[in-house]
Structure 1
Amino acid sequence: MPRLSPISRPPAPAGGYEPCPIDPDYDRSYILDDSGVPVRVYDYGVHARWASFEGKGWQIRDMLGEFGVEVWTYFSGWASLRNDDPPVFRTVVKGGGLDKTFHSLTWSEAEDKHRRVIEKVRKTIPTVAERKVSN
């Protein structure tokens, strides 16, 4: 279960970044602090830079080639204004006849969900070679 490494953030330009404000009544965007707690941000640039650099370290991606399945867990960084639901970590499973998304509220829950999904795939999904033999 390799956690992706964050990319080094280049230095900010000399004059800083131009503000890209988010209307609080339009969107709810989040980043994670160093301990993995969601923090609401009010600037698209802050959100985009975090997702492009530090946010990469809050992702796990496993390619289970023998099963034709990919499992990817990441922080969504967005919450709807339609309700008060918090932002979530998503675990997405694609391939091998699967197309499912699971939600977790914390990084530790998301890591556990990722691990359990991989275990379930390995126990229940036939390998690509097994599927070819049965056809």
Structure 2
Amino acid sequence: MGKTVKKQRPVNLDLSTIRFPVTAIASILHRVSGVITLVAVGILLWLLNLSLSSPDGFLQASAIMGSFFVKFIVWGIMTALAFHIVGGIRHMMMDFGYLAETLEVGKSSAWASFGITVVLSILAGVLVW
């Protein structure tokens, strides 16, 4: 019978000490923003249906959109959508060869996508409020 070897590997259970690279953060946030966008489509379609159902439905939808909380949610949805689109364009530019697939270009394009998203998020805030 073979002898089992027990490997002593270091185990880090303190997640606050782990530092993800910017490319990993961009990738994770791209996936999260995609899920947020998918869920938001249902909410926004419901709101659109309500607003188009009748004049009273439009008034109801207008009243719903008048709430600060709802405006904040819509701003968050628009920010998630903006990040997802910017991240998707970044990935397509890499896939089509417009951006080199090197670590440095990956880092700089991830930072650029964060910066562009901040600008688009501010513009979304101006649009919502």
TM-score (norm 2): 0.29
Name the structure where strand makes up a greater proportion of residues: 1
Name the structure where helix makes up a greater proportion of residues: 2
Higher RCO, Cα 8 Å, sep 6+:
2
Q: Which of these two proteins has the greater Rg computed from alpha carbons? A: 2
TM-score (norm 1): 0.28
